[in-house]
Structures are given as C-alpha cells and as structure tokens.
C-alpha cells in the first residue's frame, strides 16, 4: 500500500482545446508538434531527476513533466513578480511553508531524502523565518535544477494530500489549481465545506469564480491535446 494517497489521471479530462487565438490551438499540428518536442526535451534533460523525486514522493514522472512544461516550458526561468522561479516555478514562500507545515497536512514524515537536502542547502529552513532564508531559497530555485524539481514535487505532494483530506476524489485537478494560484484558493477550498465543491475537472473549469489563468492551466494540462494527453495518451515519453 502506498505511503501517500494515490494519484490518478484521466485524459483528456476536459473536452475542450486550449486556444492561443481563434485559428491556433493546442491541436493545431505545428503547435502540437512543438509541444511534443518540448515534453521530450524536458524528459531528455531532466527525466532522471523527475524520476528520482517522483519516486520519493510517489508522483508519476509524467505528471511532474507536465507541470514543468506548463509552468516554465522547461527553462530555469528567472523569478517573476511573485518570485516563482525555475523549472517548476516554485516560490520561496511555497517551499518554506510546505516544508514547515508538512505534518499538518501529510500523515507521514517528510521523506529523509528531501529533509537531508533541505537541511544541507538551507540549514535554517526549519528554525528561521522566511525572510531569513528567502534569498538562499531564491538562489537555489534559480540555479539548482535538482533542488527546484525536489521543491516543486514536495509542494505538489503537499497539495495532493491536502485535497485528498478535504475532498473526495478529483485531487489532481484541485492540486493543479492550488499550485497555480494558491493552496487556499477559495474556489477549491472552503474548510469543512470543501467537499461541496464539484470534483470533476469540467465543473471546476466552468466555475465562474475560477480565475482565467487557472482555467487556462487546466486546459493546458487536462484538455484535448494538453500536456498530459501528449504524455499519457500519445505516450511521447
């Protein structure tokens, strides 16, 4: 039996295509071909790291690569205005919070491999304030692909466990929204009333309270010819 809640995926989970314009979308041959190459390139460069941390946190490599493709297009991107950084667009505050609040949402200890890496790279992460470690975290997230991927995987597992506890089923789609726009997004989390929210992805996508960026995120990952369809249906990696 798995240590964590299982992660299931259904593609396409939204019967719609992500569109750039009225004439160009994810199903346009040139766009889809580019996305296939993107996924394969990410796998070629970082697949072994995704496999390693995916094994530690029990998240399939394909799910992590789909996140990477959506978040950064496989680049060690500079921090944006929210300090989202690198391959997995992790913020210092997200890795700090999820590391320190691990036990509040996850019914197990932080994996020893992740714990050791955090203590080695950021010695005060469990003792100091966010402000005291933020610059160190930002530097690591920008320049250390292994640390960035570990951080993104840790945050995603924390979210998966959080929504597995709060809601019945549909945990990946809500984790996607939480990763994109915050773990405490009111559209997907409402305390003990959380399981009144729909669990299917289409209902989430159609929810008028969900911001446009998160709706686009769902389509890019779980829509027709989205990254998860490319990875799991077309079996490109």
User: Which residues 6+ apart lie within 8 Å of 10 measured at CB?
Assistant: none
* Cβ burial 183-198 (10 Å sphere, 16+ → b, else e): bebebbbeeeebeebb
> For position 167, what pLDDT does the model report?
55
**pLDDT tens track for 30-56:** 999 999 999 999 999 999 999 999 999
Mean of pLDDT values over 130-136: 97
Residues in contact with 172: Cβ distance below 8 Å, sequence separation at least 6, in sequence order: 7, 8, 9, 63, 160
pLDDT of residue 109: 92
Find out whether 66 and 221 touch, Cβ atoms under 8 Å: yes
pLDDT tens digits for 172-193?
A: 898 999 999 887 776 666 544 4
The half-sphere exposure of 102 on its side-chain side, counting CA atoms within 13 A, is: 21
- For 213-235, the pLDDT digits (tens) are 999 999 999 999 999 999 999 99
- Over residues 52-70, the mean pLDDT reads 97
User: For 11-22, what is each residue's pLDDT tens digit?
Assistant: 999 999 999 988
Taking residues 198-227, report their average pLDDT.
90
- If you average pLDDT over every residue of the chain, what do you get? 90
Q: Nearest to residue 204, comparing CAs of 191, 183, 218, 186? A: 218
Instruction: Tell me the CA end-to-end span of the chain in Å, nearest whole number.
Output: 27
Instruction: Report which of residues 3 and 98 the model is more confident about.
Output: 98
| All structural domains of the chain | 29-229 (1.10.530.10)
Task: Match 């203590």 to its residue by tokens.
Answer: 119
Q: Indicate if the alpha-carbon torsion angle 79, 85, 86, 88 is positive or negative.
A: negative
Contacts of 22 (CB under 8 A, 6+ apart): none
45-54 in b/e burial notation, b at 16+ Cβ within 10 A? ebbebbebbb
Q: What is the pLDDT of residue 194?
A: 46
């Amino acid at each position: 039996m798995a240590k964590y809640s299982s992660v299931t995926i259904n593609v396409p989970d939204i019967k719609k295509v992500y569109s750039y314009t009225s004439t160009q979308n994810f199903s346009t041959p040139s766009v889809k071909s580019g996305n296939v190459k993107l996924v394969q390139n990410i796998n070629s460069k970082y697949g072994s790291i995704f496999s390693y941390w995916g094994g530690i946190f029990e998240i399939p490599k394909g799910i992590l690569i789909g996140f990477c493709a959506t978040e950064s297009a496989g680049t060690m991107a500079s921090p944006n205005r929210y300090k989202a950084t690198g391959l997995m667009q992790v913020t210092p505050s997200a890795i700090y919070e999820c590391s320190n609040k691990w036990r509040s949402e996850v019914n197990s200890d932080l994996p020893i491999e992740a714990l050791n890496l955090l203590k080695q790279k950021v010695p005060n992460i469990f003792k100091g304030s966010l402000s005291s470690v933020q610059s160190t975290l930002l530097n690591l997230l920008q320049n250390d692909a292994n640390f960035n991927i570990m951080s993104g995987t840790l945050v995603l597992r924390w979210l998966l466990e959080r929504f597995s506890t709060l809601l019945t089923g549909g945990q990946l789609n809500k984790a996607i929204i939480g990763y994109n726009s915050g773990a405490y997004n009111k559209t997907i989390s409402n305390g003990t009333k959380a399981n009144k929210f729909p669990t299917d992805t289409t209902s989430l996508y159609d929810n008028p309270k969900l911001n446009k960026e998160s709706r686009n995120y769902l389509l890019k990952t779980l829509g027709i010819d989205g990254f998860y369809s490319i990875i799991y249906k077309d079996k490109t990696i």
